[in-house]
Amino acid sequence: MMMSAAKPREWDDLRQELLRSELETLFQVSQVLSRSLDLKATLRELLRVLDEGVGLEKGMVSLIEPDTGGLLVTAVHGDAVRGDDIRYGRGEGVVGMIMEEGEKLVLHCIADEPRFLDRLGIYDKDLPLIGVPIRIARQVVGVLVAQPMAGAESLLDEYAYFLEMVANLVGQTVRLARDIERERRALTEERDNLRRTVRGQYGFDNIVGHTQPMRRVFEQVRQVAKWNTTVLIRGETGTGKELIANAIHYNSPRARGEFVKLNCAALPENLLESELFGHEKGAFTGAVASRKGRFEQADGGTLFLDEIGEVSSAFQAKLLRVLQEGELERVGGSRTVKVDVRVIAATHRDLEAEVAAGRFREDLYYRLNVMPINLPPLRDRPEDIPDIARFLAQKIGQHQGRALELTDSAIRVLMHHDWPGNVREMENCLERAAVMTEGDIIDRDAILLTGIEDQVGAGTGRAAVPDVDLDNPDLDERERVIAALERTGWVQAKAARLLNMTPRQIAYRIQTLNIKVKHI
Burial of 454 (0-12, 13-18, 19+ CB in 10 A): exposed
Has residue 448 been placed in a domain? Answer: yes
pLDDT per residue over 301-316, tens digit each? 999 999 999 988 888 9
Q: State the pLDDT at residue 129.
A: 92
Has residue 146 been placed in a domain? Answer: yes
Confidence of residue 475 (pLDDT cuts 50, 70, 90): confident
Has residue 5 been placed in a domain? Answer: no
- Check which CATH number belongs to the domain holding 353 and give it: 3.40.50.300
Has residue 519 been placed in a domain? Answer: yes
pLDDT per residue over 350-376, tens digit each? 999 999 999 999 999 999 999 999 999
Instruction: Please count the structural domains in the chain.
Output: 4
Has residue 437 been placed in a domain? Answer: yes
- Check which CATH number belongs to the domain holding 424 and give it: 1.10.8.60
Which of 19-28, 290-299, 435-444 is the least confident region? 19-28
Domain final residue pick, 361, 376, 391: 376
Q: State the pLDDT at residue 344.
A: 96
| One-letter-per-residue 3-state SS of 352-395 | HHHHHCCCCCHHHHHHHCCEEEECCCHHHCHHHHHHHHHHHHHH
Q: State the pLDDT at residue 203.
A: 63
How far apart, in Å, are the Cα atoms of 323 and each of 225, 363, 366, 474, 490?
A: 18, 11, 11, 57, 51
Q: Rounded to two decimals, what is the model's pTM?
A: 0.60
Q: State the pLDDT at residue 66.
A: 80
Do residues 233 and 320 share a domain? yes
pLDDT per residue over 273-327, tens digit each? 888 998 888 777 777 788 898 999 999 999 999 999 998 888 898 899 899 888 8
User: Of 503 and 341, which is predicted with more confidence?
Assistant: 341
Report which secondary-structure segment, H or E, holds 58. strand 56-64
Do residues 214 and 360 share a domain? yes
Do residues 305 and 317 share a domain? yes
Do residues 238 and 319 share a domain? yes
pLDDT per residue over 115-125, tens digit each? 998 888 888 89
Has residue 196 been placed in a domain? Answer: no
Do residues 156 and 222 share a domain? no
Do residues 391 and 354 share a domain? no
- The residue segments making up the domain with residue 341 are 204-376
Mean pLDDT computed over every residue of the chain: 85
Residue 519 has pLDDT above 60, yes or no: no
Q: State the pLDDT at residue 304.
A: 95
Which of 27-41, 198-212, 492-506 is the least confident region? 198-212
Domain final residue pick, 376, 399, 427: 376
Which of 161-165, 175-179, 430-434, 482-486 is the least confident region? 482-486
Do residues 226 and 324 share a domain? yes
- Check which CATH number belongs to the domain holding 79 and give it: 3.30.450.40
CB 125 within 8 A of CB 106: no
State the DSSP string of 81-120.
Answer: ---S--EE-TT-HHHHHHHHH---EEES-GGG-TT---SS
Do residues 403 and 445 share a domain? yes
- Check which CATH number belongs to the domain holding 509 and give it: 1.10.10.60
Do residues 150 and 41 share a domain? yes
Do residues 358 and 411 share a domain? no
Has residue 328 been placed in a domain? Answer: yes
Do residues 123 and 153 share a domain? yes
pLDDT per residue over 189-237, tens digit each? 887 777 666 666 666 666 788 888 898 999 999 999 999 999 999 999 9
CB 446 within 8 A of CB 409: no
Confidence of residue 4 (pLDDT cuts 50, 70, 90): very low
Domain final residue pick, 329, 356, 376: 376
How far apart, in Å, are the Cα atoms of 66 and each of 63, 102, 145, 174, 181?
A: 9, 17, 20, 13, 13
Mean pLDDT for the stretch of residues 476-492: 82
| Phi/psi of residue 291, nearest 5 degrees | -145, 135
| 408 vs 469: CA distance, rounded Å | 13
Mean pLDDT for the stretch of residues 263-280: 87
Residue 51 has pLDDT above 80, yes or no: yes
Q: State the pLDDT at residue 349.
A: 93
Do residues 176 and 28 share a domain? yes
Confidence of residue 5 (pLDDT cuts 50, 70, 90): very low
| 196 vs 98: CA distance, rounded Å | 46
| Phi/psi of residue 331, nearest 5 degrees | -60, 125
Has residue 190 been placed in a domain? Answer: no
Q: State the pLDDT at residue 464.
A: 47
Nearest to 178 by CA among 140, 141, 143: 141
User: Of 233 and 39, which is predicted with more confidence?
Assistant: 233
